[in-house]
């Protein structure tokens, strides 16, 4: 593994009001941007009916709709790599603001888009194009946000800053879930199909543009400013340096992203459907329990980041992986017999998924500042494109073989998290 660099050049001071302002604005912008990216999935069924021919078979319509959703994931690596390249050469702040603008405008346009009945085949084509732009934006936003906050705060608060930012991203998923629930509660199914589905996209676009305005108040990171002043920016294409000199850091970051993606996709995004199909809960109860789990996940992210600052990421991953293993295994194996345990068990499991809050702490420290954005973005987005796409398929195949498929998958990833934690402990001990 490559040598770990210091994450900041700032003295070991306490967090100031300016630091908290930077964290708040970054987390708020991240939450709104993640809301824009995720709201599509909550209205996938409606979008499928409106943007594809009425005579198309239902299964094919669903496949096409989720194909457009998946296109956003596939666009992440390219968008992330390009934006990180310029982030390492031109500045973190410029790309940080551009990413949210690239998310807000397509979301707003989705809310205004004519349907298949109005413009025919152009409707799904334009929708696909807008979704690709969204994917490119999120590919730059998440790594860019981690680098931005990590380089603003003192070294001993990097974990807390990254954990807080990650909790903001998860809050965006919660916001999407709550808005979708609200729209479906206020409007009838016919009204949602007629015009109600547009409201969440229009809201997301307006909120996103407001976030672009808010990010004007953020300053370039002290780390990048010093590199610029010393004329120590990358002398060649940053990604070339990353791939040649930091392969160990890439591998470590990709494995950590696998752990992160599994926690979010299986426990948070796939489980509400599982609660309805396998455990017999109604949709409203499943979504309420899911919302509670996301709230606890957000707290868990902040706690994991702060604990990584104090005790090191190795200990956090060892203890956190064991806790997630115990809570998720209990959740999936005992829920059938004890349905009244749904809310406390799901909340506890969500809290333990919060171990992912320590992931960016390791990743921002794995690359030197001169190529940090490119290294983190390349590793994170490539891994998310692979594992983000494969995880739902693998879990679905496991479910066909055994109802406890999700439990086995999460358990395997807890094992990986444990091994990463032991590796980090050993490396810290050697250092």
CATH class of 17-233: mainly alpha
* Domain ranges for the chain: 17-233, 237-431
Q: Give tens-digit pLDDT for 106-142.
A: 999 999 999 999 998 899 999 999 989 988 888 888 8
> Is pLDDT at 370 greater than 60 in this prediction?
yes
How many CB atoms within 10 Å of residue 342?
Answer: 20
| Number of residues that make up the chain | 431
CATH class of 237-431: mainly alpha
Per-residue confidence band for 392, with pLDDT thresholds at 50, 70 and 90: confident
What average pLDDT score do residues 412-417 get? 96
pLDDT in the model for residue 135: 86
In terms of Cβ atoms closer than 10 Å to its own Cβ (0-12, 13-18, 19+), residue 189 is: exposed
Write down the H helix ranges in 359-371.
359-366
> Is pLDDT at 364 greater than 70 in this prediction?
yes
> Is pLDDT at 1 greater than 60 in this prediction?
no
Measure the CA dihedral 301/366/36/349, to 10°: -30
- The DSSP secondary-structure symbol of 56 reads S
Q: Alpha-carbon distance 6 to 91, whole Å?
A: 19
Average pLDDT, the chain: 86
Do the domains 237-431 and 17-233 match in fold? yes
pLDDT in the model for residue 394: 87
């Amino acid at each position: 593994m490559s040598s770990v660099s210091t994450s900041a050049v700032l003295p070991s001071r306490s967090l100031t009001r300016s630091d908290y302002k930077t964290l708040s604005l970054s987390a708020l912008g991240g939450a709104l941007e993640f809301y824009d990216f995720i709201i599509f999935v909550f209205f996938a069924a409606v979008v499928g009916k409106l943007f594809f021919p009425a005579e198309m078979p239902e299964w094919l319509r669903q496949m096409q709709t989720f194909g457009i959703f998946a296109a956003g994931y596939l666009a992440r690596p390219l968008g992330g790599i390009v934006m990180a390249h310029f982030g390492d050469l031109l500045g973190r702040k410029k790309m940080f603001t551009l990413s949210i603008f690239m998310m807000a405008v397509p979301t707003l346009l989705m809310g205004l888009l004519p349907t298949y009945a109005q413009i025919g085949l152009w409707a799904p084509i334009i929708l696909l194009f807008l979704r690709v732009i969204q994917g490119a934006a999120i590919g730059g936003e998440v790594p860019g946000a981690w680098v931005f906050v990590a380089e603003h705060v003192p070294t001993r608060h990097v974990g807390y800053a990254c954990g807080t930012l990650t909790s903001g991203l998860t809050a965006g998923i919660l916001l999407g879930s709550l808005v979708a629930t609200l729209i479906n509660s206020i409007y009838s199914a016919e009204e949602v199909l007629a015009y109600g589905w547009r409201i969440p996209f229009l809201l997301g676009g307006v909120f996103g543009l407001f976030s672009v305005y808010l990010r004007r108040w953020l300053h370039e990171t002290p780390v990048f400013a010093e590199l610029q002043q010393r004329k120590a920016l990358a002398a060649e294409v940053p990604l070339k340096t990353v791939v040649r000199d930091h392969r160990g850091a890439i591998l470590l970051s990709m494995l950590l992203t696998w752990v992160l993606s599994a926690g979010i996709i299986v426990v948070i995004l796939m489980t509400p459907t599982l609660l309805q199909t396998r455990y017999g809960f109604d949709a409203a109860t499943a979504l309420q329990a899911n919302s509670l789990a996301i709230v606890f996940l957000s707290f868990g992210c902040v706690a994991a980041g702060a604990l990584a600052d104090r005790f090191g990421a190795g200990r956090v991953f060892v203890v956190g992986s064991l806790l997630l293993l115990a809570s998720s295994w209990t959740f999936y194996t005992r829920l059938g017999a004890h349905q009244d345990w749904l809310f406390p068990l799901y909340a506890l499991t969500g809290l333990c998924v919060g171990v992912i809050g320590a992931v960016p702490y390791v990743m921002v420290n794995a690359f030197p500042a001169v190529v940090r954005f490119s290294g983190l973005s390349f590793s994170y987005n490539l891994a998310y494109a692979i594992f983000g796409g494969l995880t739902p398929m693998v879990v679905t195949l496991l479910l066909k073989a055994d109802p406890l498929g999700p439990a086995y998958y999460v358990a395997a990833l807890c094992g990986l998290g444990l091994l990463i934690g032991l590796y980090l402990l050993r490396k810290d001990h050697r250092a």
